[in-house]
Structure 1
Amino acid sequence: MKLNNELHSVDRFTIHIPFPLSSYERKLITLLYQPLIGPEPISLYFLLWAEGEDEEGRDYTHYHLMNGLDMSIGAIFNARIALEAIGLLRTYKKETDDLHYFSYEILPPLEARRFFEDPLLSMFLFSKIGENAYRRLLQRFTPKRVAIEGMTEISRQFTDVYQPIQQHMPKNMMVHDIAEKPSKIPFYYQSFDFPLLMSGLSENMIPHRLITAEIKETIAKVAFMYGLSAIDMKHVLMMANSDDELTTDAVRKSASEYYKLTISKTPPAISKMLPPEQAHEQAKEWNSKQDELVQYFEQARPIDVLIAVNDGKQVFDHELEMYESLITQYDITPPVVNVLIHYISLNNPGHISKKYIQAIAADWRKKGIETATQAMNEARQFMDQKNPTVKKSTTIEDMHAEFELLQAAAYVLYQFEPGKASAAKLKNIEETFKSLMKKIEPPVLLQMLADGKEPFAHELKAVTQFASMYEWERPLLNTLIHYAHFSSEGNLNLPFLEAIASGWRKQSVQTIETAIQYGQNYRKSRAQKYSRTTYGNPEKKELPAWINSSEKPKSQASLEELERQYRMKKKS
């Protein structure tokens, strides 16, 4: 909503504080909330708190806030909506012909325990202040336990001390609708695409009864925090599921591991998003405000761009999946996908085939386009040439081609027999294999090893846990997964990965080349070991000359003569 329609300096407001605020709340706001939203919103909060405590119900104009804080009306508005979003302020509005009247309700901060349990707030605070400061704050707000070891509690209960009285309180003296302090930040998790998530989860994967309201809220929050789609969250839930049990802590931990494995090892940071109206206006202005548009494409999610170019309408699931696959399967960066969405909407309105979009993305990837600026320049060249189509020679990579390459590499490098047929058809196998290991993500590699099929949940979980615990570089981790997959005959598990990694660590294996060399040496040593018989090879002896001739040894001839004489004597 535009500022000139939302707030004016002459608009009046009143302040309401439903709960008494203490110095403890002031400490929580200063140490936990200020790093998230900045000093200006906190200054506005403290001013409203101070004015409301002594003169609640009095009305002011917004000039009062502007003078007291030395801030413009625009800065006041931005500070106000920051407080609303973080759960420290509720705003109510009434309009007349000339003026707007506001009521500002000052809310207390969340209790420290609830703050640190909330996945959004705790992670954003961690990303703002760093691990050491975060640990100090966590320790500071953790209740100190009283030393009661060896002691027995003897505290009396209420009924041990007091007895009931036979008197009834009048109905008009009873309190109804007692206000409660907020227990969570305002977050509408219905915006997450749960139908798409549930359609991809069969009862055999995860029983739908495990997706409770509490789990749904956690799913939506961690998906927002890490920028994960419904398809990503399916993998997260499969990793979090353990013996048909799904907990909020397991979902949060699995989402963190999946984020580190597929996106970045740097924690996500909080940032303000553009209002939909502003985003849509920017998406229309291709030829103007170049820098702002580039910044928007660099920061926005593909789904936000899709909604913007569709005039705010909800995006169809198949359309969203089509663009998400460019990121998850083909390693196209989100800013480039955003530019592609915008380019397609301007030049090819209506139905667009999946192959056409993939062809453009494949062409851009071959040209090394990774930023929004590069993608926009490439799109401008298409527009200038009035040729929005891609050359017919552009091909779309098939997952089966990578599957055959991985099979062939397993035979060429380590002599695993299943890849022998593929090795006979391909060339430059080792170099192509190394290049692939450097550019794909481990979950994509698992899918390639399964010939394009969805990898098993236990394999994905094993790889994700290993990556989270040991933080290997992606090329080396992919080489490990490839070798372990064929060594285990397709039955990856975490202990097996750790066992191979332990051998690599002892030999200081740190690159693809040294990993391949180690694997080759190990396979050769095993082959030599099992080529020997258990009983040993007897020494080779020279055979007697009479073996190959008709002449018999003397000992043999003497034996026959004695037998003939014995028979003759017996007859006589």
Structure 2
Amino acid sequence: MNRIGKILPVEGYYVVLKESLPIDYAKSLTHLYQPLIGIQAVTLYQTLLHEKDLQMNNTKPQTHHTLMNYLNLPLDEIYAARLKLEGIGMLKTYQKNNGTNNIYTYELQPLFSPKNFFKDPMLSQLLYHHIGMDKYNGLKQYFVQQSMDTYGESITASFLDVFQTIRPVSTIEVEDEEEPAGMVEHTDLSWIEHVLKQRMIPVQKVLTSYNRKLISQMMFLYDLETFEIEKSLLWALTDENYLHVDEFKAACHDVFQSKSKGNKVQLTEKDSFIDGNQTDRKKPETKEEQLIQHLETISPKQLLEDLSSGNQASEQDLRLIRDTMTQQGLPSPVMNVLIHYVLLQSNMKLSKAYLGKIASHWSRANLKTAKEAMVFAKQERNSFQKGKTSPNTYRTKQSREVIPDWFKEQKSKQRQMAAAQEEVLDEAKEQKEIEALLKQYSSNNK
């Protein structure tokens, strides 16, 4: 990855601290964060933290050349360390131009205390994979269990034991009350909600704010599909329909191991990383690219509702799609293209036999993205149409007439022109279908 030139030595920066750090933040940095992001990123964080105090009485920004001297590192490595801090949630970066150079503001984010670090599902699970079970259990026992067992059993009265309000407040679960902070946004869990309702499991009891964040993080950490998360979730539910956090994380890890073929979970930098500037990101230019982007991001349930003008998807269709995804292991974007393809080919009807036949074919083709599925579907349709229009090579009787060469050439040109015209008509029809779908999506999402 080319990072040279992302920051210039003469460009200045300010440092601000959003909130006060916990007293034992140094222990978190050394024992918990450093195994994940490395010594250079940790040193950069500490340097910026102490730079904040020096800048309190100085209105002029420091230059990055000074930072290079402090860290004894080239600027491209400092930039790489900065990205790691941003990615893991320890730093936010802002940029503005003063007419001559860019000026950056580095806003340091508060760290977890050691005890709260182990409450975050994403970070604690990543640490487990980086340092191994024995070292992880040793750190957890030292930082968490030590503080819990020191004073004996807690008999502290709760708010509800002491006070009463006008409107009674429902009992709050003490365990897992703190929502995990992290780098992953909430994902669309409407599919999971539908599964829980089908099984008569109270949705609000299972999909609490904490559990929603936990599910999103495990999907990201282990690169799991919706149907795989569904299996892990149902496995980890207790008899009282509470989600057992540790069992859920273990189930997600087991699913990952069964399909990863020995791959390890570890923080690595993306080769295709694009800087956070939105203007640098490639935007969809054609109608087809817009459709592919849409199919990559929505759930199959949302797609069905979009295609039915916002009406609720039927239980039968949802069950059919869920069973197909589970049996064939199709990712959600590929399943979206399959639904779109089958509906267009069968007059907007979902045929179980037709859907299952194509799904098994696409599963063997090992399609992973909506774009791959779209290209594959086009190739299949084109080969099918060519098979219908190609002349029959097997004849029962050979014609005895002598056909002039000019006549053969004329017929050949006519067939080529007809095929080209049919292809143009197909493309035009396809573009109209895509435009109609995009128009429908935009109107439903307003």
Fold in common (TM above 0.5) = yes
- Kept after mapping to 2: 8 A contact 1:206/1:241: no
Structure 2 counterpart SS, 1:104: strand
Partner in structure 1 of residue 32 of structure 2: 32
- CA drift of 1:35 comes to 1.5
Instruction: Confirm or deny that 1:264 pairs with 2:258.
Output: yes
Structure 1 counterpart SS, 2:103: strand
Structure 2 counterpart SS, 1:35: helix
Partner in structure 2 of residue 246 of structure 1: 242
In the alignment, structure 2 segments of 5+ residues that lack a partner are 155-177, 305-317, 389-446
Partner in structure 2 of residue 202 of structure 1: 197
**Alpha-carbon distance in 2 for matches of 1:371, 1:316:** 16
User: CA 1:342–1:36 in structure 2 vs 1: closer, same or farther (change >3 Å)?
Assistant: farther
**Alpha-carbon distance in 2 for matches of 1:261, 1:362:** 21
Matches within 5 A, 1:48-447: 48-56=48-56, 58=58, 59-142=61-144, 144=146, 184-187=180-183, 189=185, 191-202=186-197, 205-210=200-205, 211-247=207-243, 250-261=244-255, 264=258, 268-272=265-269, 274=273, 309-310=293-294, 314=298, 317=301, 328-331=326-329, 362-363=360-361, 387=383
User: CA 1:391–1:306 in structure 2 vs 1: closer, same or farther (change >3 Å)?
Assistant: farther
- Kept after mapping to 2: 8 A contact 1:326/1:361: yes
Structure 2 counterpart SS, 1:193: coil
- Kept after mapping to 1: 8 A contact 2:27/2:114: no
**Alpha-carbon distance in 2 for matches of 1:325, 1:57:** 64
Partner AA of 1:129 in structure 2: I
Total equivalences in the alignment: 332
Deviation string, structure 1 residues 466-494 (Cα, Å, up to 9, x no partner): xxxxxxxxxxxxxxxxxxxxxxxxxxxxx
Structure 2 counterpart SS, 1:241: coil
- Kept after mapping to 1: 8 A contact 2:22/2:113: no
**Alpha-carbon distance in 1 for matches of 2:9, 2:357:** 53
Deviation string, structure 1 residues 324-356 (Cα, Å, up to 9, x no partner): 877631256x6xx989999999xx9x9577888
In the alignment, structure 1 segments of 5+ residues that lack a partner are 154-181, 285-304, 393-572
- Kept after mapping to 2: 8 A contact 1:15/1:56: no
Deviation string, structure 1 residues 107-128 (Cα, Å, up to 9, x no partner): 3420111111211011111111
- CA drift of 1:42 comes to 1.7
Partner in structure 2 of residue 467 of structure 1: none
**Alpha-carbon distance in 2 for matches of 1:204, 1:147:** 39
**Alpha-carbon distance in 1 for matches of 2:234, 2:40:** 42
Report the structure number with the largest CA radius of gyration: 1
Partner AA of 1:269 in structure 2: Q
Deviation string, structure 1 residues 211-252 (Cα, Å, up to 9, x no partner): 3323322232233323334444443333333343414xx044
Partner AA of 1:264 in structure 2: S
**Alpha-carbon distance in 2 for matches of 1:71, 1:308:** 42
Partner in structure 1 of residue 413 of structure 2: none
User: CA 1:73–1:358 in structure 2 vs 1: closer, same or farther (change >3 Å)?
Assistant: farther
TM-score, L = length of structure 1: 0.45
User: CA 1:358–1:116 in structure 2 vs 1: closer, same or farther (change >3 Å)?
Assistant: same
User: CA 1:384–1:201 in structure 2 vs 1: closer, same or farther (change >3 Å)?
Assistant: closer
**Alpha-carbon distance in 2 for matches of 1:146, 1:315:** 42
Instruction: Confirm or deny that 1:41 pairs with 2:37.
Output: no
**Highest relative contact order (Cα 8 Å, sep 6+), 1 or 2?**
2
Matches within 5 A, 1:468-483: none
User: CA 1:16–1:344 in structure 2 vs 1: closer, same or farther (change >3 Å)?
Assistant: same
Partner in structure 1 of residue 12 of structure 2: 12
**Alpha-carbon distance in 2 for matches of 1:8, 1:388:** 56
Structure 1 counterpart SS, 2:25: helix
**Alpha-carbon distance in 1 for matches of 2:18, 2:123:** 23
Structure 2 counterpart SS, 1:228: coil
- Kept after mapping to 2: 8 A contact 1:90/1:106: yes
Deviation string, structure 1 residues 254-308 (Cα, Å, up to 9, x no partner): 3422541475386643444545989986999xxxxxxxxxxxxxxxxxxxx9986
**Alpha-carbon distance in 1 for matches of 2:279, 2:321:** 22
- CA drift of 1:208 comes to 2.5
**Alpha-carbon distance in 2 for matches of 1:233, 1:73:** 41
Structure 2 counterpart SS, 1:110: coil
Partner in structure 2 of residue 554 of structure 1: none
TM-score, L = length of structure 2: 0.55
Deviation string, structure 1 residues 387-437 (Cα, Å, up to 9, x no partner): 378999xxxxxxxxxxxxxxxxxxxxxxxxxxxxxxxxxxxxxxxxxxxxx
Percent same amino acid among aligned pairs? 23
Deviation larger for 308-317 or 256-265: 308-317
- Kept after mapping to 2: 8 A contact 1:126/1:134: yes
Structure 2 counterpart SS, 1:76: helix
Partner in structure 2 of residue 548 of structure 1: none
- Kept after mapping to 2: 8 A contact 1:223/1:233: yes
Partner AA of 2:90 in structure 1: L
Task: Note the aligned Cα RMSD (angstroms).
Answer: 5.5
- CA drift of 1:32 comes to 0.8
**Alpha-carbon distance in 2 for matches of 1:388, 1:344:** 19
Partner in structure 2 of residue 399 of structure 1: none
- Kept after mapping to 1: 8 A contact 2:179/2:213: no
User: CA 1:260–1:269 in structure 2 vs 1: closer, same or farther (change >3 Å)?
Assistant: same
Partner in structure 2 of residue 478 of structure 1: none
- Kept after mapping to 2: 8 A contact 1:16/1:57: no
Deviation string, structure 1 residues 23-45 (Cα, Å, up to 9, x no partner): 84223212211211223322321
**Alpha-carbon distance in 2 for matches of 1:251, 1:115:** 15
**Alpha-carbon distance in 2 for matches of 1:272, 1:233:** 25
- Kept after mapping to 2: 8 A contact 1:307/1:314: no
